Structure 1
Amino acid sequence: MGNKVRPVIQMTVAWSQYPEFTHGTEGGLPLLPRGWAPKTLLATVRQLKKLGLRPGGHDPVAVLYGYSSKGGQWFAPLYLIARAKPMLPMTPNRWRSIAKANTARRCCPVCGRDRGYIIPPSLGMCVPCTEAGENTNASNENGADPWAA
């Protein structure tokens, strides 16, 4: 599976007063392969988060792209670090709401106990309730083997 060859072109960009080399455009934004973006000027949302910043409502100025090990192509919007705003602080009300949501995820709907771990959505109940439900069989109360003829 061959990678698509993108032509290298020179164009005006938002992060430099001089034209820069890009690989064309994607959605109207300059397209940069992995390793071409200036690390001191542009960052993805995850990189901004590590710096304690957020995009702050600004639109991306470029698109970063690359290929996964399986050959799939990925894209990530790039933002100007200079325009980024600081992350919003965690207020006491936000901490309370997160704690309340996590408590609800830890409580078993069958027995009503806080199990201290997140109840698996695939089970819908805590592990002890699931195991108790598997061990009790209403059709086999006398202990006889259900497979015996």
Structure 2
Amino acid sequence: MARSPARFFDPAGARYGIPTWPWRMAPPHLRTRRQLAAEGLRPGGQDIAGQVLWRSRRYAAPGGVRAAYLYDVRLALPKRTPTASQRAALAKALAARRYCPVCGHDAGYVLPRRLGTCLDCADLAGAEAAAA
């Protein structure tokens, strides 16, 4: 099979249902979600304006084809900023994931869910279990 990018060139959307371009050939006013986020924007409820398709041998998609959906930057809205109380609640929730329920100390990292304790307490419990 030829590796021609023309396979995915369908700006009218006749073949794929929505306008489609090959990798790096989309119009300049269309962006992916990540590109919008990097510019401080969000799609803002708009419909998908198109897609970029490309072949990937590393991805286990049907036919090895990957897709990135595109949104019109002219219709995008600014990102919402969290309020001070939302930031405080998030900080509190993230801090709770660092405190060990056994020793009560801040581990400085998020506790592994499979252990449920900090690594020091897990090692101590493992050593006690091996000794018994």
* TM-score category (smaller protein): 0.7 to 0.9
The aligned residue for residue 26 of structure 2 is 37
Query: What's the secondary structure of 1:77's corresponding residue?
Result: strand
Structure with more contact order per residue of length (Cα contacts < 8 Å, sep ≥ 6): 2
Runs (4+) of structure 1 exceeding 6 A deviation are 1-5
| Residue ranges of structure 1 left out of the alignment (5+ in a row) | 12-21, 141-149
Gaps of 5+ in 2: none
The structure with the largest helix share of the pair is 2
Please state how far the C-alpha of 1:35 moved relative to its aligned partner: 1.0
1:1-149 equivalences in 2 (<5 Å):
6=7, 8-9=9-10, 11=12, 24-25=15-16, 28-39=17-28, 41-70=29-58, 72-137=64-129, 140=132
Letter in 1 for 2:45: G
Flag the 1:107–1:2 CA change in 2: closer, same or farther, 3 A.
Answer: farther
The alignment's TM-score, normalised by the length of structure 1, stands at 0.72
Call closer, same or farther: CA 1:112–1:31 in 2, change over 3 Å: same
Q: How many residues align?
A: 127
Say which one has the larger Rg: 1
Aligned equivalent of 1:144: none
Sequence identity (%): 37
